[in-house]
Structure 1
């Protein structure tokens, strides 16, 4: 696999020094990932501050979505339980239901959640989960009240995403266009990401019924972008541009700007090698120990990412198609961070991961 040239290594060191200065006001600042030099002049991100810690008694939570009234729904990977916290709750999360047919294995289990853009009328909750033979997507009607929601029978809308003990992807999210975007992993099958007809190592774009969305780049094919290793986060900026976070191997975690039909290189290249035919990452963390970025939430002109191995929250300023220098917060203070999501009240929720039990950090933002 191509590695960085000596010139690129020097450039990364210069950027690292710049971040040490920029991050001086953060807790436990760390050396920077490499980033486009054009991003050095971007405005500093809004600073997250902790306003609450909810000891929710969770076990390996993976994804959070919010109902219109502020009720939080949280998936637990290994238990396959869908949990909920009503607005203002400060104690343990209660159980909605156990999602049927989930077969946890390694990184697989009950993973991403997404709420229908028409939830007020259709009441659909979507879930990505690992089953006996594959990863798949189901939708459920969510009934009842915020004090005791109930889950209807599953309607399986998409199947056949390859599974393995690692690299299962799992993030799902409805885009501004009303279609469902799905991040998948290569499932340890390195032939999948470069194959347009395979589902592994991709971002998929589907209708609400699980069909390939109109206007996809490869015709009647669910694939929207390819050459991914393990997509973990999806969100859109204020101009409707899609960004995705992705695990690298032993080097080069990535934040990518996604374009239809774009090829992001795995397994041929990682990071930003400037190689013809592949799109470079906008931010590269050369050391996966600093990041392993999972859930992604964009607020204003800043992307916030939870870091698993890195045990911190990264904030990356954005401007157009340029990403600036990442800044680290809470490094090593709260363990692994799996997801970052925006609540209706404008605060961020960050899910800890593997703290036994896990908790929710509620973050306010200030300039």
Structure 2
């Protein structure tokens, strides 16, 4: 059930070019908001100079919903209600008017350590095109399907793309419509590293598709993918026309990348800033114990990035594919693992926990969706 909460927690952090920050961890527990510092080699310096210090204040203004099992995909409808998918059950729930209701189950979902019902996206022409898109794992692959959403119920899936490599881990799964109207999907290498550099594999890529699952016009060599050399992309967000992607590292560095068509982001040869010929370095990186990033969103000149192991929300100032200041962390270990963050229609952020995913320590009411307000 949806529960209003009197919980209000505020974190104020000074965003300054001189404070270099790293962060990510698998711990739960409660702690005050904190920012961990790192040497200049830990986080790339800000291209194009620095910004003037300014205070960024994030406040957890309340709890939108509780009792959701492993929330993963989250997408808003034009009426300002939201759909959220449960990774393991395959259920889709709608949050509207102070209530949470189940609107259907995606058939064929086969959950695993990191697989199941993953990303959701609402057609940009909804409701004239009454479709919701889902990325999910089956017993043999990952797929993207189109489902109708009418009269408060989802319909049977029409698979528009299959054959995305699947394993218990490294499934990617995030979906995002771009301002160009095409559907972007982040995939993982499916635990088979060569997939990321194999032009004929859908693994370790960012895909760019039409709503029928075909290669979008302008893709490199007419392929389904837009960029390659990724390990496990679970965060996609647009700042204007610029696409950003968050990526899990292996043992050392998690990444935030600015994505350009046809670019190679280095995996498995590169992890973090490697300066390898022909490969693009991230615009920010974190120790894997400080981030393990999943969902990202763009708001007020920042990429906001949810951390699983890091159990914190990162704010990274960006503009036109550049980082314009240093990342800062909020709510460190206050709410446990954080999976998805989305910009809501009212200007707030909706932030989901992921403490029931088998790797966290659930608290009463988990998993929950928090409403976070932003001010500067």
User: C-alpha distance in 1, partners of 2:18/2:289?
Assistant: 18
Q: How does 1:311-350 map to 2 (within 5 A)?
A: 311-323=311-323, 324-350=325-351
User: Cα distance, 1:274 vs. partner?
Assistant: 1.1
Q: Answer whether contact 1:39 1:325 (CA < 8 A) is retained.
A: no
Normalization by structure 2: what TM-score? 0.86
Could you give the per-residue CA deviations for residues 109-136 of structure 1, whole angstroms, max 9, x where no partner exists?
Answer: 0000001011120110000000121000
Cα 1:45–1:100 shift into 2, 3 Å: farther
Q: Answer whether contact 2:20 2:43 (CA < 8 A) is retained.
A: no
Which residue does the alignment assign to 2:108? 101
Higher helix share: 1
Q: Answer whether contact 2:344 2:350 (CA < 8 A) is retained.
A: yes
Query: How many equivalent pairs are there?
Result: 338
Q: How does 1:1-367 map to 2 (within 5 A)?
A: 18-19=19-20, 27-32=33-38, 34-38=43-47, 41-43=50-52, 44=54, 46-87=56-97, 89=98, 93-144=100-151, 149-219=152-222, 221-238=223-240, 240-285=241-286, 287-323=287-323, 324-354=325-355, 355=362, 357-367=366-376
Which residue does the alignment assign to 1:6? none
User: Cα distance, 1:59 vs. partner?
Assistant: 0.9
Cα 1:346–1:39 shift into 2, 3 Å: same
Could you give the per-residue CA deviations for residues 176-204 of structure 1, whole angstroms, max 9, x where no partner exists?
Answer: 11111010000110110001111100001
Query: Once superposed, what is the RMSD of the aligned Cα atoms?
Result: 1.7
User: Cα distance, 1:291 vs. partner?
Assistant: 0.3
Could you give the per-residue CA deviations for residues 231-288 of structure 1, whole angstroms, max 9, x where no partner exists?
Answer: 01111112x1110000001111000000000000000011111111100000011x11
User: Cα distance, 1:40 vs. partner?
Assistant: 6.5
User: C-alpha distance in 2, partners of 1:305/1:45?
Assistant: 18
Cα 1:40–1:308 shift into 2, 3 Å: farther
Query: Which 5+ residue runs of structure 2 have no aligned equivalent?
Result: 1-15, 22-31, 356-361
Cα 1:72–1:45 shift into 2, 3 Å: farther
User: C-alpha distance in 1, partners of 2:188/2:159?
Assistant: 20
Normalization by structure 1: what TM-score? 0.89
User: C-alpha distance in 2, partners of 1:142/1:211?
Assistant: 22
